[in-house]
Amino acid sequence: MEKTNFERFEFQPFLIEAIKQLGFYQPTEIQERLIPSVLKGESVIGQSQTGTGKTHAYLLPLLEKVDPKKEEVQVVITAPTRELASQIYQEVLKLTKHSAEGEEISAKCFIGGTDKQRTIDKLKKQPQVVVGTPARLFDLVNEKALVVYTTKALVVDEADLMLDMGFLEDVDRLASNMPEKLQMLVFSATIPEKLKPFLKKYMENPKFTHVSPKQAAAAKLEHVLVPLRHRNKFKLLHDMLISYNPYLAIVFTNTKKMADEVADDLLSKGLKVGRIHGDLSPRDRKKMMKQINNLEFQYVVATDLAARGIDIEGISHVINFELPSDLDFYIHRVGRTARAGHSGIAATIFDVEDEDAVNKLEKMGIEFVNKDLQKQEWVSIDDRNRRKKRVKKADEVGEEAHRFIQKPKKVKPGYKKKRAREITKYVQKKKRSERRNNR
């Protein structure tokens, strides 16, 4: 099997074998910069967007340092959502399954929505690696079922989302049960001001690494703006989905209420639609994710919960039914498609009040193409600034009219009104002439 550039980190053979099986040959920028620091036991803050390889930037060096002979908790990884925690756990299993006989690393995932008593019964033997949601982990610590004072490293993944969802307090309480000399690894797409007191409390001179994506979104991703133009938004969405006929499309809304309205409307029109948002029960969310991954749906309606961390394979189209108020979420949303070198389409239904948001996205490096769905066919249209250009042209014609229809040498009463009428007639005549020429 081909050699991998990860070998220079001198990982144990089981990790090198796992890396080869996963097809990783070249470390990403964040892996290159953080793996040596994590191996040295340094605390780090990694600021990066989705898709930069941050999960393996901490998993690989942390698993390298786990002592399989000690039956105690050594690494704790927290994530804000059950889906993300489950995904991280699956990545842990992919890496640890190659460990040698007698040196197996035990890992467990603890998330809400599961039977707590059964979980406690399973903790008679402490796992070496723990992954879970903060509230459930603290609950188990409180019940004295999970023993974390032996922890060497704590990972806080998607820290800004933890803050938004109100889980940082649980992480804080969890960390307070761990040793004072604790290696902490915090990963976040943004570092908001409200996050800084938490970082200062637990981290002394951490290594800070900010990895900007090479471009705002994937290279093979087409960003399409579709004007609403006083049409029914629900009907336009339905027509777009039918026209695209996607392998799998995810439609984003800003609220759970709107997600339900959109999903119900599409269902009423005969489409088989899945939905993901925070109001689903744990059982329903698990069932929904299983159905989506089994390709039982061609369309999924979701809130931004699905944009961060949830990895659904095969998404060919992302539709923004509404633009997010936090425009960083646009990048997270569209990052669900055009992954691993594949192409994808991110279409946004655009209305006049979205002008400022679109301008800001363009300044962030997003290049939009303007298209419309007319009689079930996609057609390229002028960009949305065409009206401004028309106004400018009209002004130029007006100036020309003022020059052409000059003020008379002998001024008579009512000349101003008469001249204004003549200028208006001149401009209208010019416009009619231009329209004829453009036909």
**DSSP conformation class of 96:** H
Contact (Cβ atoms closer than 8 angstroms) between residue 250 and residue 319: yes
State the angle between helix axes of 13-22 and 82-96 in degrees (0 to 180), rounded to the nearest 10.
Answer: 120
**pLDDT of 389 over the 50 cut:** no
Question: What are the sequence ranges of the domains in the chain?
Answer: 5-211, 221-380, 398-438
Contact (Cβ atoms closer than 8 angstroms) between residue 155 and residue 77: yes
Span 219-240, average pLDDT: 90
The CA–CA distances, whole Å, from 203 to 134, 208, 230 equal 19, 11, 53
- In whole angstroms, what is the distance from residue 364 CA to residue 288 CA? 34
- In whole angstroms, what is the distance from residue 318 CA to residue 333 CA? 7
Query: Are 5-211 and 221-380 equal in CATH topology?
Result: yes
- In whole angstroms, what is the distance from residue 177 CA to residue 140 CA? 12
Please tell us whether the domain made up of 221-380 is placed in CATH 3.40.50.300: yes
**pLDDT of 133 over the 90 cut:** yes
**pLDDT of 409 over the 70 cut:** no
**pLDDT of 38 over the 90 cut:** yes
Q: Which helix (H) or strand (E) holds 124?
A: none
Q: How confident is the model at residue 266 (pLDDT cuts 50, 70, 90)?
A: very high
- In whole angstroms, what is the distance from residue 177 CA to residue 76 CA? 12
% pLDDT > 90, the chain: 41
Q: Could you tell me which residue, 214 or 414, shows the higher pLDDT?
A: 414
What pLDDT, on a 0 to 100 scale, did the predictor assign at position 394? 46
Q: How confident is the model at residue 340 (pLDDT cuts 50, 70, 90)?
A: low
What pLDDT, on a 0 to 100 scale, did the predictor assign at position 397? 55
Q: Which helix (H) or strand (E) holds 248?
A: none
Count Cβ atoms below 10 Å from residue 319 Cβ, excluding itself. 25
- In whole angstroms, what is the distance from residue 376 CA to residue 418 CA? 50
**pLDDT of 373 over the 80 cut:** yes
Q: Enter the tokens of residue 78.
A: 């927290």
Q: Could you tell me which residue, 132 or 119, shows the higher pLDDT?
A: 132
Contact (Cβ atoms closer than 8 angstroms) between residue 328 and residue 204: no
What pLDDT, on a 0 to 100 scale, did the predictor assign at position 234? 96
pTM: 0.63
Contact (Cβ atoms closer than 8 angstroms) between residue 216 and residue 366: yes
Span 149-163, average pLDDT: 92
Contact (Cβ atoms closer than 8 angstroms) between residue 144 and residue 126: no
Q: Alpha helices, DSSP H only, in 245-376? A: 256-268, 282-293, 328-334, 355-363
The CA–CA distances, whole Å, from 184 to 134, 171, 198 equal 15, 12, 11
% pLDDT > 70, the chain: 83
β-bridge partners, 298: none
Span 85-89, average pLDDT: 90
- In whole angstroms, what is the distance from residue 211 CA to residue 44 CA? 13
| CATH domain 5-211 topology | Rossmann fold (3.40.50)
- In whole angstroms, what is the distance from residue 325 CA to residue 160 CA? 16
What pLDDT, on a 0 to 100 scale, did the predictor assign at position 391? 44
**DSSP conformation class of 205:** S
The counts of H helices and E strands in the chain are 16, 15
> What are the contacts of 204-208 at 24+ separation with CB within 8 A?
204/43, 206/42, 206/43, 206/44, 206/45, 207/34, 207/37, 207/42, 207/43, 207/44, 207/45, 208/44, 208/45, 208/47
Q: Could you tell me which residue, 391 or 282, shows the higher pLDDT?
A: 282
Span 380-406, average pLDDT: 59
**pLDDT of 320 over the 60 cut:** yes
Q: How confident is the model at residue 183 (pLDDT cuts 50, 70, 90)?
A: very high
Three state DSSP letters for 370-421: EEEEECCEEEECCCCCHHHHHHHHHHHHHHHHHHHCCCCCCCCCCHHHHHHH
Name the average pLDDT for the chain.
Answer: 84
Contact (Cβ atoms closer than 8 angstroms) between residue 424 and residue 402: no
